[in-house]
Amino acid sequence: MRSVAVVGAGQSKFGRRNDARLDELAWESVKQAMDDAGIVQNDIDSFVVSTVGGWSAELLPAVFVGEYCGLEPKPTMRVEAACASGSAAIYQAYSSIASGLADVVAVVGVEKMTESPTSVAVELIGRAGNYFWEFENFGMTFPGYYALYATAYLSKYGATEKDLAEIAIKNHYYGSMNPKAQFQKKVNLDEVMSSKYVAWPLKLLDCSPITDGSAAVILASEKMARKLTKDPIWIRGIGAASGTANMSLREDFVGLKAARLAAKSAYQRAGFDGDPKKLDLAEVHDCFTIAELLAYEDLGFSRKGGGFKMAREGQTYKGGVLPVNLSGGLKAKGHPIGATGVSMVGEVTRQLKSQIKGDRQADIRNGWGLVHNIGGTGHYAYVTLLSQDKGGQ
């Protein structure tokens, strides 16, 4: 396996983007990523497009997006792994460089979700669970699925709705400093606690929103990375796993087995011992506030049942054990499904290069960052470790 580095990153403004079509939105971040890497289309060997789609008419989004970005006739494909599509696309690009098939690969994640009314989008996302049994028979929605995790967690460990609210408060606080975030406003405990229930115990401010947006990264082999930049950020390990689509077959509702397996595999590949103090930051999949607490435990940042105490003690703000979601997370930055994983890797890359303006820049001490990206309700899980140092690969 060859070493692979991130050499460029870009992201569009997230939010309601009626001003741009899917291809135009994708180009915004592809252009930024190419400029950041100092390359043009001819330098790219292939490109991967991460989009879940279903909201609009494009049936062949990869060629449609690629052509607009000036990348035709390069090899391409669309990758889909629900909300983890972005990480799956990076995994694909990483594999083709590590194996020697390509030297420079562009990855773009793009989604336009607000073209459908929210009720339609919520129904479409709901079908991402077990369609015939859970969706058709019981009308499960995504907030409904994560509400099952929340009720199990609160009941088993004695956490409260206020502990969930702490995640929303933190992520909106950091989102308020991110000019590309969908919501750039802080929220307080009263606002979270008095927001309307969506699926008890989850309230509006416990949920990620419906979002349009794109993000892109350029990955390169070591030889190309050394030519292009003096500070490549190395992908030290990607771990991936899948979980049953059937909620009634899950072992329990207080964690995601696929996330634990993906973390174990990523840590092994990267030679990382799992000590959260060695990471400078983590971007985790907070599609609902409960999901961030589960992530703390699945990733080994805290013991089982201890995640809510980390939140209570403010341990995942800057200055704590490990800053989490300095981008604002899915909660405040927004969650354009196919773009999310790509935007997380872009964020950690910029953070490790100390390129973030203002107080949401992490203190970079060890040069390590982590991305945790979940698809469905734990159907897909990807954990990626990035570092300033190439290591002994």
CA gap 5, 29 in Å, rounded: 18
Among 147, 177, 241, 287, binds ligand COA (CB under 6 A): 287
Among 69, 106, 205, 381, binds ligand COA (CB under 6 A): 205
Span from 202-210, 227-235, 306-314, 358-366 in contact with ligand COA (CB under 6 A): 202-210
SS3 198: strand
Residue 82 CB, nearest approach to ligand COA (Å): 7
Nearest 5 degrees, angle CA 243-CA 245-CA 251? Answer: 60
Residue 143 CB, nearest approach to ligand COA (Å): 6
Which of 69, 207, 287, 335 is flagged as catalytic?
A: 335
Parallel, antiparallel or unpaired: strands 281-283 and 233-242:
unpaired
- Site for ligand COA contains 142 (CB under 6 A): yes
Q: Which two tokens stand for residue 130?
A: 């077990």
CA gap 116, 122 in Å, rounded: 9
Mark whether 172 is an active-site residue: no
Residue 119 CB, nearest approach to ligand COA (Å): 7
Output 187 or 348, the one with its CB closest to ligand COA.
187
Residue 1 CB, nearest approach to ligand COA (Å): 31
Mark whether 287 is an active-site residue: no
Among 335, 350, 360, 379, binds ligand COA (CB under 6 A): 335
What stretch of H or E contains 375? Answer: strand 368-375
Among 210, 284, 295, 324, binds ligand COA (CB under 6 A): 210
Which of 83, 207, 285, 372 is flagged as catalytic?
A: 83
Span from 72-80, 204-212, 249-257, 346-354 in contact with ligand COA (CB under 6 A): 204-212
Number of neighbours of residue 246 by Cβ within 10 angstroms: 12
Number of neighbours of residue 118 by Cβ within 10 angstroms: 11
Among 89, 207, 233, 352, binds ligand COA (CB under 6 A): 207
384 in Cβ contact with 235 (< 8 Å): yes
Contacts of 373 (CB under 8 A, 6+ apart): 83, 84, 86, 87, 285, 340, 341, 344, 381, 382, 383, 384
The type of residue at 62 is: A
Q: Which two tokens stand for residue 6?
A: 């991130």
Among 46, 208, 221, 229, binds ligand COA (CB under 6 A): 208
Output 36 or 163, the one with its CB closest to ligand COA.
163
First-residue to last-residue Cα distance in the chain: 8
Output 98 or 128, the one with its CB closest to ligand COA.
128
Among 77, 120, 124, 204, binds ligand COA (CB under 6 A): 204
Dihedral of the alpha carbons of 127, 129, 133, 135, in degrees to the nearest 10? -40
Q: What are the residue numbers of the active site?
A: 83, 335
Question: Which residues sit at the interface with ligand COA, rule CB under 6 A?
Answer: 83, 118, 122, 125, 142-143, 183, 198, 204-205, 207-210, 287, 335
